[in-house]
Amino acid sequence: LNEIACFSVGHKPMDGCFSPDNKRLLIANEKDGTVSIIDIDERRIIATPSVGVGCEVLSYFSEQAA
């Protein structure tokens, strides 16, 4: 694997998951209770919503049938 970008996300990042289309990467920041949402193509953080302290694990579920 080759590093293509580096981001400063929230405090104590714990887990990450990609959207089904692989256009977004979500990172759970446990200590500050946020999720960093990264746009892969633009290589930038597009949002950091508050989700509550202790968020450790992420899963992305699509409404489409597999």
How much is the pLDDT for 60? 67
Beta carbons within 10 angstroms of residue 9's beta carbon = 19
18 to 49, 56: CA distances (angstroms) = 16, 15
Residues 6+ apart with CB under 8 A from 44: 38
Low-confidence ranges of the chain (pLDDT < 70): 60-66
How much is the pLDDT for 45? 95
Place of tokens 């405090």: 11
How much is the pLDDT for 64? 63
